[in-house]
Amino acid sequence: MTQAKRLLSYLGFAAVAVYCLAPFYWMTISAFRRPQDQFDNSVVPSRWSWENFSAVFSGGNGFGRALLNSLIVAGLTTVLTLLIGTFTAYALARLDFRFKNAVLGLIVATTMFPGISQLVPLLKLFTDIKWINTYQAMVLPSLGFALPLSVWLLTAFFRQLPFELEQAAMVDGCTRGQAFRKIIVPLAAPGVFTTAILTFIAAWNEFLIALSMVNKKEMQTATVAISKFTGVSGFDQPFGTQMAAGVIVTVPLIAVVLVFQRRIVAGLTAGGVK
């Protein structure tokens, strides 16, 4: 590669990085502006302040409870997705039955349905069975959106593992279930870990379902609570407080992705190279 091409590559990477990070940078510096400076457009705040972060956790917002709700919903969605997705993906990767590829294609095709098209039937169903304002009303729809991609990723990962490993374990006396639990699951840990991170991030950021299925303040998730922050008069928009809440919600996810980025890349590329 010539020096000019290398320079263009670096410029391209820099442009993509700036494009992706600029909104987060603006959200962060806006969070540190004083409330009276929230419409200031300077690149760096003239005076740094923690007032917006203090306002996020003021008594009227209930943001601490909203964070706990987000943690419960995202955690339950991740655990159920891994539990169901692992067994489904293992069956699709190892068992021989007719229309196996068609079943996998059908599972992936379900991700193409827009979420808004499923919202009204789910709202009607959950209203009839009195699930509105419950955790299961948020967890089950999120599970439906997370499972197809999880099954796809885990199936590719299980197909990469040699079948001879299970056969050797069964020759040594293991049952098929023991071979799966003691041999395959530990070897598939990177793929399972990647799936868990991606599912948790998607469930943590989910907004549409949480907004539609909950109308009690104490059951709101963090994303919904941020959208309902009110200003001093109840009609003005508290941009600074919302920016600070956005930073609080986003920073843990960025830290997790940075720490485990190698595992995430390894899991996403599993099965892509023969």
Mean pLDDT by 10 residues, the chain (274 residues): 83 92 91 85 87 83 90 95 92 85 84 81 92 93 89 86 84 84 84 87 91 91 88 66 90 81 70 50
pLDDT the model gives residue 1: 64
Phi-psi region of 234 (alpha: psi -120 to 50; beta: other; left: phi over 0): left
pTM across the whole model: 0.84
Cα 107 to Cα 179: distance, rounded to the nearest angstrom: 26
Q: What is the pLDDT of residue 274?
A: 46
> How would you label 211-235 residue by residue, b for 16+ Cβ within 10 Å and e otherwise?
bbbbeeeebbbbbbbbeebeeeeee
Report the candidate in 72, 55, 27, 85 with the shortest Cα–Cα distance to residue 210. Answer: 72
CA angle 183/188/190 to nearest 5° reads 140
Q: How crowded is residue 68: how many other Cβ atoms within 10 Å of its Cβ?
A: 12
CA distance 195 to 83: 11
Q: What does the pLDDT read at residue 59?
A: 67
